[in-house]
Amino acid sequence: MISEKMEQAFCDQINKEFYSEYLYLSMQAYFERLNLAGFTNWMSVQIQEEHAHAIGMFNYLHERGGKVELLAIDKPQTDWKSPLDVFEHVLEHEKYVTSRINALMDVAESEKDRAALSFLDWYLKEQVEEESNVGGVLAKLQLIGDDKHALLLLDKELEARVFNQPVIG
C-alpha cells in the first residue's frame, strides 16, 4: 500500500504530465498553422510520449493500491513568436518537469518508499534524454537564425521522428 503523501505526490505529477501533453498539443497546433509538417510531427511524438508518461504513473499508482485523483489541467500558451521561441519554451518546460520528478523522488525518499524510487528512476533517466533531444533541436534553431531555407531543411529532418512506446519502470 502506498502512503497518502506519496499518493498525492503522484496525483500531482500525473496532472503535470497531462499538462505537458496539453502544452505540446498547443505547440503542434501552432506548427500546423505555420504549415511546418516536420515540427508538427515532432510535437505529435512528444504528445504521445507525455501521454505514456502520465499513464505509466496512473497505472503504477493503481498497482500500489492508491487512488488516482485527476486534477484540472491548466490552459497552455497558444502562440509563440517563432519556432525558436517554441523550443526555448520546451526546454524551459522540460527542465521544470525534471525538477518535479526530483521533488517526487524527494517525497519517495522521505517516505522510505523504495519501490517508488525504483520506479521513478526510469523517469529521471527519461528527463535527461528529453532535455538532450530538445537541446539538440534548439541548438540547430539558434544556428539557423532567420535562414528560412535552413528552417525548411530542419523541418524535413524532424519529419523522421517516430514514437516508440516506452517500457516504463
Q: Give pLDDT tens digits for 45-93.
A: 999 999 999 999 999 999 999 999 999 999 999 999 999 999 999 999 9
Look up cell 505529435; give the residue: 44
Q: Report the CATH number at residue 114.
A: 1.20.1260.10
Has residue 166 been placed in a domain?
no
User: Which residues constitute the domain of residue 127?
Assistant: 4-71+78-158
C-alpha grid cell, residue 88: 526555448
**Residue range 122-152, pLDDT digits in tens:** 999 999 999 999 999 999 999 999 999 999 9
Task: Report the domain count for the chain.
Answer: 1
Assess if residue 51 is contained within a domain: yes
Answer whether residue 169 is part of any domain: no
Burial of 8: CB neighbours in 10 Å, binned 0-12, 13-18, 19+: middle
Q: In terms of pTM, does the model score above 0.75?
A: yes
Q: Which of 140, 167, 151 is nearest to 34 (CA)?
A: 151
